[in-house]
Amino acid sequence: MSNLAKLEFAALDISRKNYLSWILDAEDKAKAMIFFRRHLYEGLKIEYLTVKDPSVLWKNLKVRYDHQKIVILPKARYDWMHLRLQDFKTVSEYNFAMFRITSQLTLYGERITDEDMLVKTFSTFHATNLLLQQ
């Protein structure tokens, strides 16, 4: 009986009144677990083989990997600060680097607007191209 209290959704009632909502909840939980199992590295699959609840697996993975923010965010900030157009051979390489950095910053809660990207690009133009900046 104590296992029923641990369920994240209501148990199937003997009168079948909640069958529809119960089957949808069970199906969603099963789909989430299948998704996790298919998209984990083989070593992680073995390590978390006994975890049956997708929310527990999610929390375990979050505890294991969420610390990467401490490493990635300062590096992305550094890369953003030192991003210069003249360091790249082509504009497309520069754009690729800029969008990679802005994606990392956005992922960890820093908002980079289109205006910020334009200002960044214009501010890195060589002094002889001052007319292009304006």
Q: How many domains does the chain have?
A: 2
Does residue 85 sit in the same domain as residue 36? no
The answer to whether 115 and 76 are in contact (CB under 8 A) is no
Q: Print the domain residue range for 129.
A: 68-133
The answer to whether 99 and 81 are in contact (CB under 8 A) is no
Does residue 43 sit in the same domain as residue 76? no
Does residue 111 sit in the same domain as residue 91? yes
pLDDT tens digit sequence for 84-120: 888 889 989 999 999 999 999 998 888 989 999 988 8
Task: Supply the pLDDT for residue 124.
Answer: 77
Does residue 80 sit in the same domain as residue 100? yes
The answer to whether 76 and 101 are in contact (CB under 8 A) is yes
Helices and strands (H and E) in the chain: how many: 8, 0
pLDDT tens digit sequence for 20-72: 887 787 888 888 888 888 888 888 888 988 888 888 998 998 888 888 888 88
pLDDT tens digit sequence for 114-125: 999 988 888 877
